[in-house]
A and B are shown apart, each in its own frame.
Chain A
């Protein structure tokens, strides 16, 4: 018994490099070998995001308007944000909704967002300029001003698309004049980029624009109050949210494939925490025994 306790006590101080190696294996093995796995349970906030887009498509007036997909991520968070972005764009394209790609946190965001739209456009026969448009990149310092101006004159505020064509020359913009011609704001982001939309755009028109949020898992929790306060109509939380959304759409994307690695790594951490605590209690017990002896 004592030998067993001593073994557990030693497990309390596993060298960190062994922890790192274990983690690398937990992540890498499921990627190298395709593991079958069950579908996730869909969370209410993900379902609500899905329903928001569905109801826009069903509304004869709203479905004619333009959605804004703001892709504020960079290469660092591709795994989460790109997967979310693909799921959203796929959904919009399935429902034949028009949308604009836009970014203001990093110029990379615009490039990445545009690349996703271009890739899926082939599949859904979307045509640039009439089904979707690229509003370009706006430097973060200027976003406040840009959005304030866009409230009354959207094409005027953004002026040109990323290729330099005047927005007014594109067929998709024919019906888009002001904030009232926007039916949805999608914010895909790894950072604090939601406030400009909420402060200067969402409620600047005749009625609030449905706004949905696709943050990395770390940014999500602090925004739950906004779901309750009605400032957000849905949220796709990190890679898990993307995987749930893929379930709703019935597709197998990266969200689904990465799921096994996610599960294993979480399991590893929980086991390690368990081991560490057992070790601590075992040590206390040993010490007490020694104290008695």
Chain B
């Protein structure tokens, strides 16, 4: 679809409207419920174990550019860092994208300050490892084998390097928590990690950890949006079963003329 059709305009506007309304009402202080997401409770446990063993924590915010997904990952790692800072514990966070470097440095410095130990933060623990996927993987594998982290937090966009990182960390006995919207890598995280966030649990994670009204509201809005889409799918299947491709056409490329034709047919060809 190059440009919006009228149904696309309406659907996108309605979805956006629902999400924004939910965000704004949450910001005005509406009470919101969020169900438990199992993997997230393990974060404290993992940090605690790393502190006990006296080995560092390794984080990764994946291969993404500075985009939505990477920023979510950084928010999760930052909250891990705040917890770690309370025990004056080190986090190593290798970076693949040059533009991530200043943002990650700022975010982690802020997190350590919030945890009361700005002195523990060290820029050298956020090395930039080339712009290439497997050079990054080779570098992270080397860091894992040398530093032997006791816990790893892998969040963000991942591709084939996911398993290289996760298996190396597994070999050194790290407890691992991972989350990614890249569906193709989820099975490998399931195989190699202790806790995995699946699908849009990833988007829910930041809301769950930070308890920010904006993010909670957004999540509620997303839920309503998904229900709406699901409702349309079910209605569409029923209509298709009775011979009407109405909903299917709404999501097609053709604009109004299809609907004009549909209504002509429905009203007896006027």
Q: State the A residues within 8 Å of B (CB).
A: 16, 76, 148, 151, 191, 199-200, 203-204, 218-219, 221-222
Contact = CB atoms under 8 A, between A and B. Distances in A.
A86 B220 CA distance: 50
B2 interface: yes
A203 B253 contact: yes
Contacts of B253: 203
A218 B183 contact: no
Interface in B183-227: 183-184
B1 interface: yes
A286 B95 CA distance: 48
Contacts of B159: 191
A173 B171 CA distance: 56
A148 B171 contact: no
B2 A218 contact: no
A218 B171 contact: no
Given A16-B171, A76-B134, A222 B2 contact: no
B184 A148 contact: no
Instruction: Report which residue of B2, B159, B171 has the largest number of chain A beta carbons within 10 angstroms of its beta carbon.
Output: B2
Contacts of A222: 183-184
- SS class of chain B's interface: helix, strand, loop or mixed? loop
A218 B1 contact: no
17 contacts: A16-B171, A76-B134, A148-B2, A151-B2, A191-B159, A199-B1, A199-B2, A200-B2, A203-B1, A203-B253, A204-B2, A218-B160, A218-B184, A219-B184, A221-B184, A222-B183, A222-B184
A148 B160 CA distance: 31
A101 to B, nearest CB: 24
Contacts of B2: 148, 151, 199-200, 204
A199 B253 CA distance: 11
Nearest to B252: A203
Interface in B247-270: 253
Nearest to A204: B2
Nearest to A202: B253
Contacts of B171: 16
Contacts of A218: 160, 184
Nearest to B185: A218
Nearest to A203: B253
A218 B163 CA distance: 13
Nearest to B171: A16
A265 B134 CA distance: 23
A203 B254 CA distance: 10
Nearest to B167: A16
A151 B159 CA distance: 31
Nearest to A191: B159
Interface in B146-184: 159-160, 171, 183-184
A218 B253 CA distance: 29
Given A148-B2, A219-B184, A222-B183, 14 more contacts: A16-B171, A76-B134, A151-B2, A191-B159, A199-B1, A199-B2, A200-B2, A203-B1, A203-B253, A204-B2, A218-B160, A218-B184, A221-B184, A222-B184
A219 B171 CA distance: 27
Contacts of A200: 2
B141 to A, nearest CB: 14
B198 to A, nearest CB: 14
Interface in B1-24: 1-2
A76 B161 CA distance: 12
Contacts of B1: 199, 203
A193 B134 CA distance: 19
A191 B134 CA distance: 14
Nearest to A77: B160
